[in-house]
């Protein structure tokens, strides 16, 4: 029988293979595998989570949603519990994005604790990315909306893990300010000499 550490390494290799052609939305188009590794790192280094089942599920959390991986494939390689956690945090891509986001808010309080830990780490990492290296095509208004939606998801899971919730609140405090959005959304008033230069 494989050790849990060996299974964790197998999950990293599996996720790296499944996500090999995918990139994140940041301006540098970072390799997608960086994201699930970030989740596991947040859980271990910042959240002090030691449950390898949670860590493996974090590494695999996007494989069902964003690759051709099947639930049966996950169960065969990593066991039914890990498959079930990954399924809990997987959106149904057949639904419209607005509906998927509504369901994350609705279902959040009813996830198992292990799935909520993965979800907390996911939202922490995503907000950090949006705050510090936002997707190239995301206007400021969309960034603000993403922050507020993520908070709605996490607010329904409060009481899961105090340290991870503190980390989420800390990154939420980096939320882009509405006044900054207004500055970007509205053209600045220019003097006559500036207007002529733009003609």
The domain spans of the chain are 4-198
pLDDT in tens, 95-110: 999 999 999 999 999 9
4-198 carries CATH number 1.10.3210.10:
yes
Task: Determine which one of 65, 81, 91, 102 is catalytic.
Answer: 65
DSSP the chain: ---HHHHHHHHHHHHHHHTTT-B-SSTT--BTTHHHHHHHHIIIIIT----HHHHHHHHHTTHHHHSS--HHHHHHHH-HHHHHHHHHT---TTS-HHHHHHHHHHHGGGS-HHHHHHHHHHHHHHHHHHHHS--TT--HHHHHHHHHHHHHHHHTTTTS-HHHHHHHHHHHTTPPPHHHHHHHHSPPP--HHHHHHH-
Q: What is the pTM of this model?
A: 0.87
Task: Determine which one of 26, 66, 91, 145 is catalytic.
Answer: 66
Is 66 part of the annotated catalytic residue set?
yes
Q: What is the pLDDT of residue 28?
A: 82
């Amino acid at each position: 029988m494989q050790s849990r550490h060996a299974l964790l390494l197998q999950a990293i290799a599996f996720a790296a293979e499944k996500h090999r052609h995918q990139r994140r939305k940041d301006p540098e188009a970072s390799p997608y595998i960086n994201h699930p590794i970030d989740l596991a790192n947040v859980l271990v280094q910042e959240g002090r989570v030691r449950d390898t089942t949670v860590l493996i599920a974090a590494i695999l959390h996007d494989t069902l949603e964003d690759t051709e991986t099947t639930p049966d494939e996950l169960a065969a390689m990593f066991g039914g519990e890990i498959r079930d956690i990954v399924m809990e945090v997987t959106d149904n891509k057949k639904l419209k994005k607005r509906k998927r986001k509504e369901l994350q808010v609705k279902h959040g309080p009813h996830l198992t604790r292990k799935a909520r830990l993965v979800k907390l780490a996911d939202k922490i990492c995503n907000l950090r990315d949006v705050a510090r290296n936002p997707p190239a095509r995301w206007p400021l208004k969309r960034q603000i909306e993403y922050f507020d939606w993520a908070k709605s998801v996490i607010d329904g899971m409060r009481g899961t893990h105090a340290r991870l919730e503190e980390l989420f609140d800390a990154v939420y405090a980096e939320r882009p300010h509405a006044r900054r959005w207004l500055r970007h959304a509205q053209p600045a008033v220019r003097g006559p000499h500036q207007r002529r230069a733009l003609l």
